[in-house]
Amino acid sequence: MPEPIKVVVTGAAGQIGYALVGSVVKGEVFGADQPVILVLLDIEPMMGVLEGVVMELKDCAFPLVKEYIPTADYEKAFKDADACMLVGAMPRKEGMERKDLLAANVKIFKGQGEMIDKVAKKTVKIVVVGNPANTNALICSKYAPSIPKQNFSALTRLDQSRAKAQIADRVGVSVGDVSNAIIWGNHSSTQYPDMRHATVNLNGKKMSVPEAVKDDNWLKNEFIKIVQSRGAAVIKARKLSSAMSAAKATCDHMRDWWMGTQSGEWTSMAVISDGNKYGIPDGLMYSFPVEIKDKTWKIKEGLEINDFSREKMDISAKELVQERDDALAVCEDGQQKK
Ligand code: NAX
């Protein structure tokens, strides 16, 4: 048996946390024979609920688990962590302005970044789910300068899965027959779901998605809107935001990072831009197609970008520049007040 790894799930008493922790300890993310120490981090008032989650986990009798650590203490949580799924965030309350939400969350992710910097393993892999996910991941990384920037990411896998599911429905195939969908940009309504490079297996023949869909107008308009607003549509129907699908996407994201992507396939992850790929500014946490090997992602290069894509990709980059500047202003303001 390999040595146990320490996995931290934040917001573990919340609805995504509840849908997520079972998969982590079942071996679906880090491997079927990888023992796990599972940290469940939440805020102090949620410790009672968290205790209930741990009771249920224990009652599941997962054999891979070495220990459960429910806590509200950042240092205890992140000490020697190998992988972190940062789900916990301040929810948007009624009447709250976007900038107030951003400010509240920036402070959370700054604090967690500082502690990760101090006590986590330098090889730790981090996926941020809590919104605004891209900017929270950027801030977390900024305040953890001793950890490589490549070890931070934000979740756009749910958007990718939503896009694949829409195509599968439209073409009448199983979602497993759709490959290489791309989400560019921010996990927000400016994201650009791009199917120009995606393929589908239709009647035993592999073809491009535009060829299979045969309706460019739908792909350029309705399809994009459906994917961009899918989260809101789920809330409207379920009266609660996406949880099962977000948990599954978080697991898929981390599993591919840990285990690698299949040859010839890529997946979408928001990762740090170095300014040299696809004309996206340096220093943004932007969703790109990535290929992963040996726990290291590499942006898939050489994909042709037409004028339509360029415009969409730039709109999302512009939004991320604004979010980053607003977030940094909050951090700097905090420093001045110290
Ligand atoms: P819930 O409100 O059910 O749970 C959030 C949990 O986080 C709560 O238990 C809360 O106490 C905890 N929390 C708050 N501050 C914390 C802190 N400083 N440290 C640790 N825990 C803390 O929300 P849920 O539906 O689980 O969603 C969690 C986050 O995921 C939200 O920010 C949501 O917007 C975001 N989402 C992101 C998605 C993505 O694709 N990137 C999709 C799904 C989801 O909407």
Q: What is the pLDDT of residue 335?
A: 66
Best mutation site among 8, 40, 42 for ligand 1, i.e. most ligand atoms within 8 A of its Cβ? 42
d(Cα 164, Cα 150) in Å, to the nearest integer? 26
Indicate if 147 and 168 belong to the same structural domain.
no
| Cα-based torsion angle of the residue sequence 231, 235, 238, 242 in order, rounded to the nearest 10 degrees | 40
Q: What is the pLDDT of residue 334?
A: 64
Q: What is the Å distance from ligand 1's center to 129 Cα?
A: 7
Identified catalytic residue from 142, 157, 170, 187: 187
Contact 291, 264 (CB under 8 A): no
Indicate if 179 and 135 belong to the same structural domain.
no
3-17: pLDDT as tens digits: 999 999 999 999 999
Indicate if 101 and 164 belong to the same structural domain.
no
Best mutation site among 20, 40, 43 for ligand 1, i.e. most ligand atoms within 8 A of its Cβ? 43
Mean pLDDT of 291-315: 98
Q: What is the Å distance from ligand 1's center to 243 Cα?
A: 10
d(Cα 293, Cα 96) in Å, to the nearest integer? 42
* Final residue belonging to a domain, choices 154, 173, 205: 154
Q: What is the Å distance from ligand 1's center to 44 Cα?
A: 15
Contact 273, 286 (CB under 8 A): yes
| DSSP state letters, 97-113 | -HHHHHHHHHHHHHHHH
Atom nearest to 158 CA in ligand 1: 40
Q: What is the pLDDT of residue 29?
A: 98
Can you give the length of the chain in residues? Answer: 338
Task: With H, G, I as helix, E, B as strand and everything else as coil, classify residue 116.
Answer: helix
Q: Identify the sign of the CA torsion 126, 130, 135, 141.
A: negative
Q: What is the pLDDT of residue 92?
A: 77
Indicate if 48 and 59 belong to the same structural domain.
yes
Residue nearest to atom 41 of ligand 1 (CA): 129
Indicate if 114 and 214 belong to the same structural domain.
no
Closest to 286 measured CA to CA, from 313, 311, 310? 313
Indicate if 143 and 73 belong to the same structural domain.
yes
Residues 6+ apart with CB under 8 A from 204: none
Structure tokens at 33: 């024979």
Best mutation site among 87, 136, 238 for ligand 1, i.e. most ligand atoms within 8 A of its Cβ? 87
Q: Let me know if residue 329 belongs to a domain.
A: no
Structure tokens at 152: 């931070």
- CA geometry: angle at 60 spanning 16 and 256, to 5°? 50
Q: What is the Å distance from ligand 1's center to 210 Cα?
A: 35
Indicate if 290 and 240 belong to the same structural domain.
yes
What average pLDDT does the chain have?
Answer: 96
Q: For residue 272, what is the domain's CATH number? A: 3.90.110.10
Binding pocket residue ranges, ligand 1, CB within 6 Å: 10-11, 13-17, 41-43, 46, 87-91, 108, 129-131, 133, 155, 158, 187, 231, 241-243, 246
Residue 289 has pLDDT above 70, yes or no: yes
Q: What is the pLDDT of residue 200?
A: 98
Q: Let me know if residue 220 belongs to a domain.
A: yes
The residues pairing with 179 across neighbouring beta strands, listed in sequence order, are: 199
Residue nearest to atom 34 of ligand 1 (CA): 131
Q: For residue 143, what is the domain's CATH number? A: 3.40.50.720
Strand 178-179 with 199-202, pairing? antiparallel
Instruction: Give the side-chain half-sphere CA count within 13 A for 222.
Output: 8
**Burial class (CB within 10 angstroms; exposed 0-12, middle 13-18, buried 19+) of 40:** buried
Percent of the chain scoring above 90 in pLDDT: 93
SS3 per residue for 214-247:
CCHHHHHCHHHHHHHCHHHHHHHHHCCCCCHHHH
Residue 327 has pLDDT above 70, yes or no: yes
Q: Let me know if residue 332 belongs to a domain.
A: no
Q: What is the pLDDT of residue 97?
A: 78
166-222: pLDDT as tens digits: 999 999 999 999 999 999 999 999 999 999 999 999 999 999 999 999 999 999 999
Residue 338 has pLDDT above 60, yes or no: no
Atom nearest to 157 CA in ligand 1: 40
Kindly report which listed range (36-40, 48-52, 236-240, 308-312) carries the lowest average pLDDT score. Answer: 236-240
Q: What is the Å distance from ligand 1's center to 309 Cα?
A: 31
Mean pLDDT of 312-328: 97
Residue nearest to atom 13 of ligand 1 (CA): 88
pLDDT band at 337 (very low <50, low <70, confident <90, very high): low
Q: What is the Å distance from ligand 1's center to 302 Cα?
A: 35
Structure tokens at 99: 């900038």
Number of structural domains (the chain) is 2
What is the domain extent for residue 36?
A: 5-154
Tell me, yes or no, if 253 is annotated catalytic.
no
User: Phi and psi dihedrals of 173, rounded to 5?
Assistant: -125, 175
